[in-house]
Amino acid sequence: MNDDTRTAIVTGGSRGIGAAIAKRLEGDGCTVRRPLREELDLSDVSAVRVWAESDDTVPDALVLNAGENIPTPLEEMTTEHWQRTLDVNLNSCFELIRVYGPRMAARGRGRIVAISSFLSFRGRVGRGPYSASKAALDALIRVAALEYGPSGVLANAVCPGFVMTDLTLQNNDEATLAHLASTTALRRLGTPEEVAELVVFLAGDRNTYVTGQTLVIDGGYTCQ
């Protein structure tokens, strides 16, 4: 992706994996929009659709990165907590895809990349709504790939393992982080930049045949 007329929308692009993706795309000459939370509140699904419909952009890449993960046991979880997590992680993605997907299809090209998680297919205590939302996101991406593929739009999900982000540091103490690193094949946690490399490939013109896939990037954590 080296044409400076190309554009990308990256949600959650202010920090962590999203910031690394946006920086990498910009380095390739892409104009990147990173809507801030004040501009685009992903927990307000109706507002997300209004925001997207009022925007006349036809992005070359739509990167759905923003997510929320507040560990809580199911028995202590409120309905509001459950619903908010699904709205941020899944329902907002649906709204953005159903606005921008048809525009990409009408133009005859485009890339959709959703940042999912290895927890979409593996359980972890306290991650009920997070795991559920990411599993559904994987399924949504497969459907998007089928529906928009004939028009030249490719859609994929990327499932990071444990990556050194603010969220990972917030949800795990040092002992847990050390343990998690020791259980990967590479004996370390990933970096946002490593995830960004995969995302940028999937979001760019070099990717011509990978679509409808759920790609895991976890340093070998789930191969055990």
Alpha carbon of 85 to those of 41, 47, 80, 174: distances in Å? 13, 16, 9, 26
Asked about 100 being catalytic, the answer comes back as no
Q: What is the C-alpha to C-alpha distance for residues 222 and 202, in angstroms, rounded to an integer?
A: 22
Q: What is the C-alpha to C-alpha distance for residues 186 and 218, in angstroms, rounded to an integer?
A: 9
Q: Check residue 184 and report its DSSP letter.
A: S
Q: What is the C-alpha to C-alpha distance for residues 10 and 14, in angstroms, rounded to an integer?
A: 9
For 73, list phi and psi in degrees, rounded to 5: -60, 150
Q: Check residue 203 and report its DSSP letter.
A: H
Catalytic hit among 100, 130, 148, 221 = 130
Residues 6+ apart with CB under 8 A from 147: 101
Contact 136, 90 (CB under 8 A): yes
Tally Cβ neighbours within 10 Å of residue 95: 20
> Which residues belong to the active site?
130
